[in-house]
Amino acid sequence: MEDIPNRWYYEYIAPDLFLASHLTDILYTGTTRYQRVEIIETSLFGRCLVLDGRTQSSEIDEFIYHETLIHPALIAMREPRTVFIAGGGEGATAREVLSHKTVERVVMVDLDRELVELCQKYLPNHHKGAFEDSRLELIFTDAWKYLEESKEQYDLLVMDIPDPLENGPAYLLFTKEFYKLAKKRIKPGGAMVVQAGPSGPLNYRETLTAVNNTIRCVFGETYPLQSYIPSFGSPWGFVIASSGLPPTDMSAQKVDACIESRLTHNLLYYDGITHQGMFHLPTYVRQGLKTEKRVITKGNPLYAV
């Protein structure tokens, strides 16, 4: 076997394209009850979490993903107080939610206790102490089961779960049946945000357009957005479903004013101008979203390639 300084980490972005990063350390490899876990370090991206062969986040650019996932939805709310997070094992999603001064309670439900413990140990620059915040309640169970049994409603539901891989732990949480349940757990004026997969020209139809169409069937209106994530090798899509103020109605000035008054730490990616750009999707994505007919169900699930 080659020495670490001469090794590379390869990840397929599409069947005929891969991203290679110079590997400087392997911190952990193993399989939990639910998924294969690798925590590696590369020269460009720093420490990275890889689940079932797919990069979930890296130290150098996780802020882009997590700020995009959280702030456009929360900033559009007047005084969000309660947030539910499905997944989010690294703790970075909770970190961004907890940066909002109005937030009083965050329920984070992750199926994989072992994964969360590994992230707490090996990815301190991701969570930055979020797990110690008294407002965070961490529960290890299935998100569907939890929402089905608990009648609590939230201002925001965040679906920060892995891609819908066949036999993976999360594919059923991309279905119409789950979104119907999620809608019941959102307070009037609240919202749900979902990571929805790649939005680049090679693979935007892999999951993004079908996820958006499925959510639209349940909520009636969706607000898809994207940001480019270098460690993913692709622009990445997200979908917001809101029963309150459409996030697209927020002016750059209003976004900046909310950030200034509400957040407890400085942001590196998201601000008013960035907010405007996130929702201005390229033509091919808009056309794909408009013409998509697939609806994801338990009987007809969607699997990422």
Positions marked catalytic: 160
Shortest CA distance to 102 belongs to which of 62, 150, 156? 156
Q: Which two tokens stand for residue 62?
A: 């996780």
Question: What's the rounded Cα separation, in Å, for the pair 25 and 133?
Answer: 30
Instruction: Compute φ and ψ for 111, nearest 5 degrees.
Output: -70, -30
Contact 98, 74 (CB under 8 A): no
Residue 225 CB: number of other CB atoms within 10 A?
Answer: 25
Is the separation of the CB atoms in 185 and 154 below 8 Å?
Answer: yes
Nearest Cα neighbor of 112 from 58, 22, 29, 35 is 35
Tally of CB atoms within 10 A around 153? 14
Q: What share of the chain is helix, strand, coil (3-state, %, to 5)?
A: 35, 30, 35
The three-state (H, E, C) secondary structure of 50-98, written as one string: EECCEEEEECCCHHHHHHHHHHHHHHCCCCCCEEEEEECCCCHHHHHHH
CA distances from 8 to 44, 74, 161 (A): 12, 38, 26
